[in-house]
Amino acid sequence: MRITEYRHEWKHEITFCDLLAIRRRMQAVAHTDTHALQGRYHIRSLYFDTLSDKALREKLDGVNAREKFRIRYYNGDTSLIHLEKKCRRNGLGVKASAPLSAEEVQALLSGDLDWMPRSGRPLAVELYSKLRSQGLRPRTIVDYTREPFIFAPGNVRVTLDYHIRTSRNPLDFLQPSCVTIPIPDDPILLEVKWDEYLPAIIRDAVQLPGRRTAAFSKYAACRVYG
């Protein structure tokens, strides 16, 4: 299991004109993520929640210490899938991840959980225990396009996310033909993440007059349909 350190995070909902400006600035000072294809990639995530929507309610209520589980893959490539747990405490975020096979994900979606406690992956075992004890279940598919930029000092990652779409049918998670629909208002999201410090060159590059950090959640936004 891979665990990142707690990181700082800014989120802004921005306009298309903002996106063009930020993209141009970041191309001048940072590097595109090597995993991107022509500067961008497609992300598909499947989020888990309880029958009482614990993860959603804690996000909307601004609970200081909270967590959520998701499964994610990139550019339609199901040969590399990640199980992830994101935790937030005191405004900082940390992520743990572990690999899953497409066969394991399909088994989970089909209700076959027997492989999980025998997987040898602590994160899969933890998800299994919470599927059993808390009633976690696959809830919502979230699709979007991401433009990622990397700046080594401060371990800074700047991303531009857009074309956010959703589906409430978890069984279609691995299917290229999965039907998704755009969320209202077609939002564009700027995210900035860093470790101990945010270099001034990046701070200046992402500044947008009149914009404030906001607790935007793709998962919460996609739950507008239920």
pTM of structure: 0.92
> What is the chain's length?
226
pLDDT given at position 33: 86
Contact 194, 8 (CB under 8 A): yes
pLDDT above 70 for 212: no
| pLDDT band with cut points at 50, 70 and 90 for residue 12 | confident
Contact 218, 13 (CB under 8 A): no
What's the pLDDT tens digit per position in 122-158? 999 999 999 999 999 999 999 999 999 999 999 999 9
Domains and CATH numbers, the chain: 2-225 (3.20.100.30)
Contact 150, 33 (CB under 8 A): yes
Higher-pLDDT residue of 215, 76: 76
Q: What is d(CA 200, CA 207) in angstroms, rounded to the nearest whole number? A: 11
Number of H helices, E strands in the chain: 6, 11
What does the block give as tokens for 20? 């063009």
| pLDDT band with cut points at 50, 70 and 90 for residue 37 | confident
User: What does the angle CA 212 – CA 206 – CA 217 come to, to the nearest 5 degrees?
Assistant: 50
Residues 6 or more apart whose Cβ sits within 8 Å of residue 24: none
pLDDT given at position 6: 78
- C-alpha Rg value of the chain to the nearest Å: 18
pLDDT above 90 for 85: yes
pLDDT > 90: percent of the chain:
71
Contact 130, 138 (CB under 8 A): no
42-57 average pLDDT score: 94
pLDDT given at position 226: 58
What's the pLDDT tens digit per position in 182-191? 998 899 999 9
pLDDT above 80 for 118: yes
DSSP-assigned beta bridge partners for residue 87:
67, 94
> What 3 state SS string does 68-135 have?
EEEEEEECCEEEEEEEEEEEEECCEEEEEEEEECHHHHHHHHCCCCCCCCCCCCHHHHHHHHHHHHCC
List the one residue out of 172, 188, 190, 192 whose CA is nearest residue 180. 172
Contact 70, 46 (CB under 8 A): yes
